[in-house]
Amino acid sequence: MKQSKVFIPTMKEVPAGAEALSHRLLLKAGLIKQSTSGIYSYLPLAARVLNNIEAIVREEMERIDAVEILMPALQQAELWEESGRWNAYGPELMRLKDRNGREFALGPTHEEVVTSIVRDELKSYKQLPMTLFQIQSKFRDEKRPRFGLLRGREFIMKDAYSFHADEASLDESYQDMYNAYGRIFKRVGINARPVVADSGAIGGSHTHEFMALSEIGEDTIVYSEQSDYAANIEKAEVVYQPNEKHSELQSLTKIETPNIHTAQELATFLEKPLDEITKSMVFKVDGEFIMVLVRGHHELNDIKLKAYFETDNIELATEDEVVNLLGAKPGSLGPVFDKDIKVYADNYIQDLNNIVVGANEDGYHLLNANIGRDFDVEAFGDFRFILEGEPLADGSGVARFAEGIEVGQVFKLGTKYSESMNATFLDNQGKAQPLLMGCYGIGVSRTLSAIVEQNNDENGIIWPKSVTPFDLHLITINPKKDDQRELADQLYAQLKESFDVLYDDRKERAGVKFNDADLIGLPIRVVVGKNASEGIVEVKRRDTGDSEDVHVDDLGNYVNELYTKL
């Protein structure tokens, strides 16, 4: 297309607050336009890339016999009440009422809808396994939308749902989808790593996330340099390797610790290392208060707590609740008390004796608290985040960290939705059984961002040819000169027979055009300039920057060969 007809509002200066590289580049190259917080329009170049990504997704879905459908964004509350998520989902679920006062959600995901379709229309084990997918806009009212398309409130997803008669079949489709996702990310030009992840509120038992490594990530990935091990830090297991306790038991002593609120402040005040301090936190688990201890240099991981207690209903107790319960504010809490509150401790607490804990009295701590003597621990467990350098659960070496963008997830749901929504099939004995399900998602608009995040240089985007909005950028340096314009017009007519060509016919200065071309980042640039009258044009690769003068008679072959090599 002629660039004068395409709407590509490139920018010199990116608005403040665009932190992520991809966000800055997408704005700067004129691909997206913010409508309001977390909501964007995709301008022509972005729409073309999205179409290319979606075509690749469709090919890979068809290859594993997944079948496309399209479900509605408007989802009646009744469906979400059946699954129990109408109340459980929280403020991220956007809700509205129709003209008759009936409640609806704007779909952030489609387990409920797809389960309701399948339970009505799928009867027999003969129809299984079956995998349905769709590509569609989703809605999630993020508390803090950020990073452009990476965490938006309206975004494009490919979501898929599989249905099975037995675990073996679910395992097979899960593996098919896992492999398809690997191929998709590779084809679109993303280096994405599957990592073990937490199953969270969606329920289910087994899940991997596909993480695209990036400068700014929303997630930290724990990985091994020696093996394929990779996990979301939320999920990465900490191996407990006991260390001997370091000293003789001493007697419990209360000391005044004025204005000390954090473990770090306490360590400084006592001139002890941070790892000899403990942190005591009170949680409400399904309505019951418990205390959890971790060492000063460790971070408690509430996702592991949820997994341990097998509930999503875990909250940190409020200050009021804590004061009411123990008589002191957070910062002065500890496990030495005469109350019916169970104490849980991270495994590494076992390495300590003569522990420093809060005295349950504001401004006071206890020295030399000891397990068994001064307080009891109900159970030890892995309740914290792993630290970089700690040993990995697969024994392959030590933990390395990287930042990543989650671009996809595969998930074994089991019977979570089929049981709550009564979706059954008749097995080969004619007996009704709950369907086993898997669900699978790719963030299509996130993938667009992740591609840009990983494919760029200081001058702009470098599109992988699989998804590039156009294949070639044909540029006239001075379209007012007849020889340049005529040659460029002729080359445009010729090249567009074999390629998607963006033809910069604008009456702008050459510098503006070249800057825009670098920013936009099409794989190959053909420049018609001062040698036009001799039939010579310049052909330049965006990735390496290599350029060569080529005679127009050879141009077709030259560009074909170069494009194939890319």
Given the rule CB under 8 A, which residues bind a second copy?
1-2, 4-7, 9, 30, 33, 35-36, 39-44, 46-48, 50-51, 62, 65, 67-76, 91-92, 94-96, 98-99, 106, 113, 116-118, 120-122, 126-127, 130, 132, 134, 136-137, 139, 141, 143, 153-154, 506-507
User: What count of other Cβ atoms lies within 10 Å of the Cβ of residue 370?
Assistant: 17
How far is Cα 419 from Cα 427, in angstroms, rounded to an integer? 16
* Cβ contact 207:201 at 8 Å: no
* Cβ contact 276:356 at 8 Å: yes
Which residues are CB-contacts of 422 (< 8 A; sequence separation ≥ 6)? 119
How far is Cα 415 from Cα 7, in angstroms, rounded to an integer? 48
Q: Amino acid identity of 56?
A: I
Give min distance, CB of 519 to a second copy, in A: 15
* Cβ contact 79:116 at 8 Å: yes
Q: What residues pair up with 39 in beta bridges, in sequence order?
A: 36
Nearer to a second copy, 175 or 205 (CB): 175
**Would you state the structure tokens that stand for residue 565, as one six-digit string?**
């090599």
Nearer to a second copy, 277 or 495 (CB): 495
Nearer to a second copy, 54 or 543 (CB): 54
Give min distance, CB of 502 to a second copy, in A: 11
Nearer to a second copy, 116 or 207 (CB): 116
Q: What is the Cβ-side half-sphere exposure of residue 526, based on CA atoms within 13 angstroms?
A: 36
Give min distance, CB of 473 to a second copy, in A: 16
Burial group, residue 238, by CB count within 10 angstroms (0-12, 13-18, 19+): buried
Give min distance, CB of 117 to a second copy, in A: 5
**Would you state the structure tokens that stand for residue 564, as one six-digit string?**
């194939």
Nearer to a second copy, 75 or 332 (CB): 75
**Would you state the structure tokens that stand for residue 113, as one six-digit string?**
């809808």
Nearer to a second copy, 124 or 250 (CB): 124
Give min distance, CB of 35 to a second copy, in A: 5
Give min distance, CB of 438 to a second copy, in A: 15
How far is Cα 372 from Cα 338, in angstroms, rounded to an integer? 14
Q: What residues pair up with 440 in beta bridges, in sequence order?
A: 160, 410
CA torsion, points 448, 454, 458, 462, in degrees to nearest 10?
-60
Cα end-to-end distance, the chain, whole Å: 22
Nearer to a second copy, 8 or 345 (CB): 8
Provide the phi-psi class of 430: left if phi over 0, else alpha when psi is between -120 and 50, else beta. left
Nearer to a second copy, 59 or 256 (CB): 59
Nearest to 399 by CA among 385, 383, 379: 385
Nearer to a second copy, 283 or 492 (CB): 492
Give min distance, CB of 10 to a second copy, in A: 10
Give min distance, CB of 242 to a second copy, in A: 46
Distances (CA, A) of 366 to 24, 332, 335: 51, 9, 10
Give min distance, CB of 158 to a second copy, in A: 13
Nearer to a second copy, 20 or 118 (CB): 118
Give min distance, CB of 385 to a second copy, in A: 28
Nearer to a second copy, 18 or 352 (CB): 18
Give min distance, CB of 65 to a second copy, in A: 5
* Cβ contact 42:31 at 8 Å: yes
Supply the Cα-derived Rg of the chain in whole angstroms.
29
Give min distance, CB of 173 to a second copy, in A: 11
User: What count of other Cβ atoms lies within 10 Å of the Cβ of residue 474?
Assistant: 27
Provide the phi-psi class of 217: left if phi over 0, else alpha when psi is between -120 and 50, else beta. beta
Q: Amino acid identity of 536?
A: I
Nearer to a second copy, 91 or 430 (CB): 91
